[in-house]
Amino acid sequence: MTSAAADRQAFIVENLRLAAVPGVPEIELYSTHPGSGLWRLATEDEDGEPPYWAYPWGGGIVLARHILDHPQTVRGARVLDLGCGGGVVAIAAMRAGAASVLAVDVDPMAITAIALNAEANRVVIENVRRDVRDLKMPAVDLILVGDLFYELELAKAVTAFLDRALKLGIEMLIGDPGRATLPRKRLARLAAYKTADFGSASTPAEVFAWKAPAPALGR
């Protein structure tokens, strides 16, 4: 472990608290609390990444809930959790019987957090720091995307990645509370929930399957 990784791990353990995830009490994550000093990382971190990984996001919560309630969704599958954050979706997939989970995030703090969270929840998760724009398609059967359409350019990059996966026959599930840049025309709704969200006590959120674009109309 590098000194930077050790520092990130020490910060999380010393300043955050293991707490049950709202709506997914079977899973505990290192989470922020008043006095954690977490947001100072946004200015201290060399990449300036906001600490999104330490907060519950509605899309990730409902996707994790859906997986735990429908374990056949992931059972025996090789899974990619794209934009894993703190890892609630990845952990849910392993708890539900996935053969393996690869968790990917661009934020080094998220990668450190998911390693700690996986250990706390007694599951094994492979993790890698990578931007979706630079991510090679791994050998997986299922891609899970919890709340990754919150910004336009990122949404475009995620859409392009998922369309690459679609051509390979990989299945995809999306959890989202209806962010403005969510590509709804590419989604087939599977379930709806009420959940906590970043900055909100309760909000509607849905689970979708990713689908091919509608064929172009003939001339």
Domain carrying residue 8: 3-210
- Asked whether the predicted pLDDT for residue 198 surpasses 80, the reply is no
pLDDT digits (tens, 9 = 90+) for 146-182: 999 999 999 999 999 999 999 999 999 999 999 999 9
Task: Return d(Cα 169, Cα 176) in angstroms, integer.
Answer: 22
Cα–Cα nearest to 77, from 57, 63, 93:
93
Per the domain annotation, does 178 fall within a domain? yes
Per the domain annotation, does 218 fall within a domain? no
Per the domain annotation, does 41 fall within a domain? yes
Cα-Cα-Cα-Cα dihedral sign, residues 180, 202, 43, 49: negative
Per the domain annotation, does 74 fall within a domain? yes
Per the domain annotation, does 172 fall within a domain? yes
Q: Up-side HSE of residue 122: CA atoms within 13 Å toward CB?
A: 2
Total number of domains in the chain:
1
- Asked whether the predicted pLDDT for residue 129 surpasses 90, the reply is yes
**Model confidence band, residue 55 (pLDDT cutoffs 50, 70, 90):** confident
Per the domain annotation, does 90 fall within a domain? yes
Per the domain annotation, does 219 fall within a domain? no
Task: Return d(Cα 114, Cα 129) in angstroms, integer.
Answer: 11
User: What CATH number does residue 186 fall under?
Assistant: 3.40.50.150
pTM: 0.92
By three-state DSSP, how is residue 207 classified? Answer: strand
pLDDT digits (tens, 9 = 90+) for 65-94: 999 999 999 999 999 999 999 999 999 999
pLDDT of residue 199: 64
Cα–Cα nearest to 208, from 189, 193, 180, 184:
189
Distance of CA 145 to the CA centre of its chain: 6
- Asked whether the predicted pLDDT for residue 218 surpasses 80, the reply is no
Q: Do the beta carbons of residue 67 and residue 171 sit within 8 Å?
A: no
Per the domain annotation, does 170 fall within a domain? yes
